[in-house]
Amino acid sequence: MAAAAAPRRDVQGPREESPPERKVYMDYNATTPLEPEVIQAITEAMWEAWGNPSSSYPAGRKAKEIINTARESLAKMIGGNPPDIIFTSGGTESNNLVIHSMVRHFRESQMAKEDGVEPLGNGAKPHFVTCTVEHDSIRLPLEHLKEDGVATVTFVPVSKVSGQAEVDDVLAAVQPTTCLVTIMLANNETGVIMHVPEISQRIKALNSRRVALGLPRILVHTDAAQALGKRRVDVEDLGVDFLTIAGHKFYGPRIGALYVRGLGELTPLHPMLFGGGQERDFRPGTENTPMIAGLGKAAELVSKNCEAYEAHMREVRDYLEARLQAEFGQKRIHLNSQFPGTERLSNTCNVSIRGPQLQGRLVLAQCRTLLASVGAACHSDLGDRPSPVLLSSGVPFDVARNALRLSVGRSTTKAEVDLVVEDLKQAVARLEGSA
């Protein structure tokens, strides 16, 4: 049989394109795709619940019913009560809302001597305690308040041994004017789990003494955006007063929510916006029913399947780290997210391949299969400067500069890990001039 003729190269016609190379996404800490069930929930809400949720006709009542069901699903996911959930545009708004509320509450409580709190003197400013590896939606609002002379802030360094904000260091930062301690539940670059339950317990014990001294009660907030969907999160275990939720981190839409313990009764919340009274006046604006429906469905899936998600991601992540060490050698691979005795997220591998020409951005630019990042998406403007999170966590400068943040997802397979490791090998070879 004659050999098949080669494709004819017609100068005037379109060129035949080679099939696209397969891509493997490993940036699930940046964002996640929507689960099919979430897309279905959003679509159905668009068709069936298009009415204004404040209206009494069927489409409005349907919208209100969907919103209430979603609120219940979110509350179940975090072990809270539905009335304590407020829908927001995302994690950034939730974080800013907490900080804004605490500034206002501090001022009002000092002026009114509420709950027996004595004034701290004219000109007293609210004081915040946080740590050096927080998301920008915590760090930047606090820095702005400090620059504007509205508040004082202590940024507690994380331990270079554990990668965590140590409980004693957080407590040592407390001042008479401290109104909020905000420590993330899990870091978005290293995956390190923080000591939030222990911090909450210590603050609660401290509050009983502070009240007796006429000092303001300290509230505790955690940004749980990165942890949700990767491990069980329970507000009773954590003991927090506020908890931030971001849907797009657990296969939901890009909206969010805020948990407030005993909203408006035990824990104060002051709106940043004023309008039609939705969300009990705490977050007015006509509700985005389809996205709320999707968020509720995503939360429902987490409640049902979290243990299975976590186990799968840990197995694939551990396989990834073993394959990297096997292919490149343990001396050449530095696992930036591994700290002895420290728990981390099941899906996160922050790794550096040692070598003077192997800066993370250069390696990713050479990759043809891998889709990943060098760190947090909000730090994408750093150029070749190393991640401040890694430097704060004790990773040496030259190692941190080579960092790749590889985060696996619910559907990532070991076969895809093999493709990624081979892709990285070829990228390194090209950069070192041996390919």
Task: Report the catalytic residues.
Answer: 378
Q: Which two tokens stand for residue 288?
A: 């985005």
CA distance 328 to 354: 9
CA distance 292 to 340: 40
- As beta bridge partners, residue 350 has 405
- What residues have CB less than 8 Å from 332, skipping those under 6 apart? 353, 354, 355
Provide the CA 109 distance to its chain's centre, in angstroms: 31
Whether 82 contacts 256, CB under 8 Å? no
Q: What are phi and psi of 267, to 5 degrees?
A: -125, 130
3-state secondary structure the chain: CCCCCCCCCCCCCCCCCCCCCCCEECECCCCCCCCHHHHHHHHHHHHHCCCCCCCCCHHHHHHHHHHHHHHHHHHHHHCCCHHHEEEECCHHHHHHHHHHHHHHHHHHHHHHCHHHCCCCCCCCCCEEEEECCCCHHHHHHHHHHHHCCCCEEEEECCCCCCCCCCHHHHHHCCCCCEEEEECCCECCCCCEECCHHHHHHHHHHHHHHHHHCCCCCCEEEEECCCCECCECCCHHHHCCCEEEEEHHHCCCCCCEEEEECCECCCECCCCCCCCCCCHHHCCCCCCCHHHHHHHHHHHHHHHHHHHHHHHHHHHHHHHHHHHHHHHHCCCCEEECCCCCCCCECCCEEEEEECCCCCCHHHHHHHCCCEECECCCHHHCCCCCCCCHHHHHCCCCHHHHCCEEEEECCCCCCHHHHHHHHHHHHHHHHHHCCCC
CA distance 159 to 400: 16
Q: What is the CA radius of gyration of the chain?
A: 24
